[in-house]
Amino acid sequence: MLRIEHIGIAVKDLTASNDLFAKLLNRTHYKVEEVASEKVATSFFQTGESKIELLAATSPDSTIAKYIEKKGEGIHHIAFAVSDIEAEVKRLIAEGFQPISEQPKRGADNKLVFFFHPKSTNGVLIELCQDII
């Protein structure tokens, strides 16, 4: 793993949260993007070498909507940048970590992404990210 790529934060209201994080970080978001397949709208803030990703549900049946209903707003996942996502997925599965899906898929911010279940990572949803070239 190369570094922490971003920390994902589940929010109810993307516009209000963009305003809040702009004040907190003293900078504006650089990108808002919808990931239709996940029923989520995202917003990104650059913070040094890492980012903050705000995630808001675009449908009541999305994973983020269910997460907020159950746990409230807050940290949803930690994402790590990797140079070879398929090799890292195979390595972590061999180490016993529980994958959520079978293959990496296209995510926000021009990334291939893959998630590992919190049950196998001390309660933290882990995302691997690789830049799409």
Please report, in tens digits, the pLDDT of each residue of the chain (133 residues total): 789 999 999 999 999 999 999 999 999 999 999 999 999 999 999 999 999 999 999 999 999 999 999 999 999 999 999 999 999 999 999 999 999 999 999 999 999 999 999 999 999 999 999 999 8
CA distances to 49, 55, 57 from 130, rounded to whole Å, are 15, 19, 23
pLDDT at site 28? 97
The dihedrals phi and psi of 43, each to the nearest 5 degrees, come to -140, 140
Q: What is the pLDDT of residue 2?
A: 86
Residue 39 confidence (pLDDT): 97
Q: Is the pTM of this model over 0.85?
A: yes
**pLDDT score at 100:** 96
pLDDT of residue 125: 97
